[in-house]
């Protein structure tokens, strides 16, 4: 399997995950929700769907933790991750605002068609929610999409790796209206992993974004749906987005500068500079990737409405 192109094997892994995720829709979560097992069930589900196929895939492809950038995140790079979080929050807010006013589509945070349980304010419930709906998804999804798939496409260059991992990450949510938002989140996360050369950066960023989505995003939606404050709201959000974008670029420049001073070896994706458009096209027309797209379209256009 090692000799098979990653443009075929990486989407094949994603296709398996998509199939498992769709199959999980037929599990009777309603019956276990009343037994207070929804949190544990979601954790086990994520481990089975994302981690187990990923581990098996890594064994077949002989991928190492170093290949997946599983290196510690130095404290000096955490500020950069926080600036990326600002880019992620305010950028996704702008996209959500556009989607709402163009298509009338409002997003509500859910995890694989399972909405976050409400009605409880006990500290224990909050802890369970954070673990099951914010922490574990950040770890499992980043492990698969930024750890395995992003690294698999690294031989095709930075742009191809980031774009392809972003597309496959957005498709796993099976939400056509929110596709652009998820793609943007995937791109920012891949950017953070690439700059820091640490998968933990993506996990931290993803965790922070999940926390925001679970506990605070609904507040912003109230503002988005209010026409009276929309113009001022957009001005503030756009300004903050630009500020954090500039800060993230500055942080990236600082990190790369110090890496150059230390003489750190360039990552494999940085060495592929020629034929970027051709390499991206090759990845996009892979039969296994096209199968992923077909499954996504069938599910979002037909099955989700049943």
pLDDT of residue 34: 44
Is residue 255 within 8 A of residue 80, CB to CB? The reply is yes
According to the model, what pLDDT value does residue 272 have? 57
In whole angstroms, what is the distance from residue 96 CA to residue 98 CA? Answer: 5
Q: Tell how strand 114-115 and strand 110-111 pair up.
A: antiparallel
pLDDT single digits (tens) 136-167: 999 999 999 999 999 999 989 999 999 999 99
Please report the pLDDT score of residue 200 as a whole number. 97
pLDDT at residue 171, rounded to an integer: 97
Check residue 3 and give its pLDDT. 64
Q: 29-60 burial by CB neighbour count: b if 16+ within 10 A, else e?
A: beeeeeeeebbebbbebbeebbeebbeebbee
Give the model confidence (pLDDT) of 47-102 as tens digits.
999 999 999 999 999 888 988 999 899 998 999 999 999 999 999 999 988 888 78
pLDDT at 117: 57
In the chain, where the domains are located: 6-305
CB 164 within 8 A of CB 155: no
Listed as ranges, residues in the chain with pLDDT below 50 are 1-2, 33-35
């Amino acid at each position: 399997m090692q000799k098979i192109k990653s443009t075929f094997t990486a989407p094949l892994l994603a296709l398996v995950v998509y199939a498992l995720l769709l199959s999980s829709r037929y599990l009777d979560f309603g019956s276990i929700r009343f037994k207070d097992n929804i949190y544990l069930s979601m954790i086990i589900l994520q481990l089975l769907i994302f981690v187990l196929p990923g581990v098996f895939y890594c064994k077949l492809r002989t991928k190492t933790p170093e290949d997946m950038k599983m290196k510690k995140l130095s404290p000096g790079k955490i500020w950069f991750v926080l600036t990326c979080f600002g880019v992620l929050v305010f950028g996704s807010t702008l996209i959500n605002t556009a989607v709402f006013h163009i298509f009338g589509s409002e997003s509500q945070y859910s995890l694989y068609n399972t909405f976050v349980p409400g009605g409880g304010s006990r500290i224990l419930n909050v802890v369970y929610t954070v673990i099951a709906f914010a922490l574990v998804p950040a770890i499992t999804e980043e492990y698969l999409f930024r750890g395995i798939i992003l690294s698999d496409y690294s031989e095709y260059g930075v742009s191809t790796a980031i774009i392809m991992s972003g597309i496959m990450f957005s498709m796993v949510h099976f939400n056509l209206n929110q596709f652009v938002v998820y793609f943007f989140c995937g791109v920012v996360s891949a950017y953070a992993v690439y700059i820091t050369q640490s998968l933990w950066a993506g996990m931290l960023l993803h965790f922070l974004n999940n926390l925001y989505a679970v506990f605070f995003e609904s507040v912003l939606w109230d503002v988005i749906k209010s026409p009276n404050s929309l113009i001022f709201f957009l001005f503030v959000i756009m300004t903050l987005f630009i500020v954090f974008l500039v800060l993230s670029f500055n942080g990236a420049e600082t990190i790369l500068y110090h890496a150059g001073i230390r003489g750190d070896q360039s990552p494999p994706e940085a060495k592929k500079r020629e034929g970027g458009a051709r390499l991206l096209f090759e990845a996009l027309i892979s039969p296994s990737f096209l199968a992923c797209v077909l499954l996504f379209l069938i599910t979002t256009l037909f099955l989700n409405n049943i």
